[in-house]
Amino acid sequence: MSAATPSASGLEAPPAFTHRQIMIILTGLMSGMFLAALDQTIVATSIRTIADDLQGLSLQAWATTAYLITSTISTPLYGKLSDLYGRRRFFLLAITVFVIGSALCGFAQSMYQLAAFRALQGVGAGGLFSLALTIIGDLVPPRERARYQGMFLAVFGTSSVLGPVVGGFLAGQDSILGVTGWRWVFLVNVPIGMVSLALVIRTLHLPHTRRDHRIDHLGAVMLCLALVPLLIVAEQGREWGWTSSRSISAYVIGVLGIAGFLWAEKRIGDDALLPLRLFRGRTFGVGSILNFIVGMGMFGGLAALPLYVQIVKGYSPTAAGLLLLPMVLGIMAGSIGSGQAISRTGRYRVFPIVGLFLLVIGMVLLSRIDADTSMVIVDAYAFVFGLGLGFNMQTLVLAIQNAVPPQDMGVATSSATFFRQMGGTLGTAVFLSVLFNRLPETIGSAFRSAATTPEFQAALKDPAVLGDPANQVVLQGLAHPETASAAGVLNDSSFLSTIDARLAHPFLVGFSEAISGVFVLGAVVLAVALAIVWFLPEEKLRTQSGIAARHEQESAAAALREGPASD
């Protein structure tokens, strides 16, 4: 890092970071992001084992919901506070809280304790993604930034593959070093977090000028009032019923909270948690809408595809994670390739357009898979989907960062993450609801079609099939396939691996038909984004880093204040 020098205005010029120094800082940032990204998939793979051991299977969803609520709410808080007080302290805080929450989760004695500790863990996770991207925005000019941000997406992709593998391995061990295997799902975060903390303390030293401000307490309260009920109903609505009294109450409170949040943000002006003036910029407004819609399609697809691989194709979560590696390679190829191209040309608008086109095509292709489709074909379609994601994820963040004033870098970056996460939450809830609502119909239809085939009739007359207790769940339900046959998959799909393959096949056909409907819905959602992306303007990428741009702005303001006094 070169030494800082005084500028003409008397303010100390910001230090210039070399590529090597940026890469050292990047290592610390990526280790922090790796923590949060790995945790999402590693816990999802092992949650059933955890819930069984803690005797709280019916409460397992709350461990996920608690984490989701606190991580979503804290994301915009980290962005605003880091703009006001500096990035380093809040990134260190995020890592520390995440590590403490992880350690506590590892020693939880009940599902209620686990949910509470997961909520604490989520408070830390909310800052890991958004602040890492914001800090890169501080260090690197927009034109060069895409190259570095692509590395973050590589971390995201790698963790999505490693998570199921590591989670499946740890949850499957009775004991490791005298500690129950599933507890290492959380405890493994502690040494990684300590290394990340040490790297960030040693390498991350960013200049920051504190600004006069008011704290937007009312906005923070209203944000919680808006998001908590909406996130809860998104996670629990399928079990409660989307039109139940509890769901309707959550909708009403959430809408009132949104109205109160908008009123509070307008009232406090530039000191708002999410300044409404940012939406007057077309890039920020369109980019935020795109992040929300792409989040819906992305997380909806990411939730549905592993279910297909595990239930229809019969692979374990560990194997499913490895089999979806082509999608991850697509994400990495798209993000790194677009980053290199943006650095060379200075143009970014083409990538969200091409990326959304690929996402729509990928969803349409995935909607055509059935129970007998080869995994080679499935992976080829998944690669197209991943490539589209890679073209979109970092480019939309880059466009938003480039379009806002440098002092709003943190709130803009966290807003991009926030809208994508909210879209993902809604998309996952809606897509899975559509899937499970269609299952009884599609499985019933598959059984009616299979009933007349020679293979199925032969299975019903086979003494070995009739005498096997594992097959009784199907044989007893054949009189009412629309209800009884679907119930098994709705509650527990593990029996599909133990029954006769001829009896299992209609279940697999029905599930693949239901999941095809989910992919069709995803294609429609992403087609809406494809129509909106044409309104995204192409703004010239700044050649200054966020730190340099803020310094120039502060120097100009200081010169204006000193001008009249020197005349």
Neighbours of 343 (CB within 10 A): 18
pLDDT mean across residues, the chain = 79
Q: Which residue type sits at 181?
A: G
Helix axes 409-450, 111-139, angle to 10 degrees: 130
239-293 pLDDT tens trace: 788 888 888 998 999 999 999 989 988 888 777 888 888 888 899 999 999 999 9
* Secondary structure class of 11 (helix, strand, coil): coil
Show Cβ contacts of residue 388 under 8 Å, excluding neighbours closer than 6 positions.
Answer: 330, 334, 354, 355, 356, 357, 358, 359, 360, 361, 362
Mean pLDDT of 534-542: 86
| pLDDT above 50: residue 5 | no
Neighbours of 252 (CB within 10 A): 11
pLDDT grade, residue 385 (50/70/90)?
A: very high
Q: What is the pTM of this model?
A: 0.82
Determine phi and psi for 180, rounding to 5 degrees.
Answer: -50, 135
DSSP, residue by residue, 503-528? HHHHHHHHHHHHHHHHHHHHHHHHHH
- Reference 409, options 206, 268, 549; nearest CA is 549
End-to-end Cα distance, the chain: 37
- How far apart CA 348 and CA 304 sit, in angstroms, is 30
pLDDT grade, residue 566 (50/70/90)?
A: very low
Mean pLDDT of 480-494: 51
Position 567 scores a pLDDT of 42
Mean pLDDT of 469-490: 55
Answer whether 97's CB lies under 8 Å from 128's CB.
Answer: no
- How far apart CA 561 and CA 468 sit, in angstroms, is 88
Position 57 scores a pLDDT of 58
Lowest mean pLDDT among 169-178, 347-356, 370-379: 169-178
Answer whether 410's CB lies under 8 Å from 79's CB.
Answer: yes
pLDDT grade, residue 366 (50/70/90)?
A: very high
| pLDDT above 60: residue 4 | no
SS3 per-residue string spanning 194-238: HHHHHHHHHHCCCCCCCCCCCCCHHHHHHHHHHHHHHHHHHHHHH
Q: Which residue type sits at 551?
A: H
Position 485 scores a pLDDT of 44
Position 98 scores a pLDDT of 93
Which pair of structure tokens corresponds to residue 380?
């080829």
Distances in whole angstroms, Cα of residue 498 to Cα of each of 46, 99, 314, 465, 504: 21, 40, 11, 11, 9
Give percent helix, percent strand, percent coil of the chain, each to the nearest 5: 80, 0, 15
Position 552 scores a pLDDT of 65
DSSP element (H, E) containing 179: strand 179-180
Show Cβ contacts of residue 522 under 8 Å, excluding neighbours closer than 6 positions.
Answer: 297, 300, 301, 304, 363, 427, 431
How are beta strands 175-176 and 179-180 bridged, if at all? antiparallel
Mean pLDDT of 365-394: 90
Position 9 scores a pLDDT of 46
Position 492 scores a pLDDT of 56
* Secondary structure class of 175 (helix, strand, coil): strand
% residues pLDDT > 90 (the chain)? 15
Position 561 scores a pLDDT of 62
439-467 pLDDT tens trace: 878 877 877 787 778 777 777 776 766 66
pLDDT grade, residue 493 (50/70/90)?
A: low
Mean pLDDT of 165-171: 76
- How far apart CA 373 and CA 532 sit, in angstroms, is 33
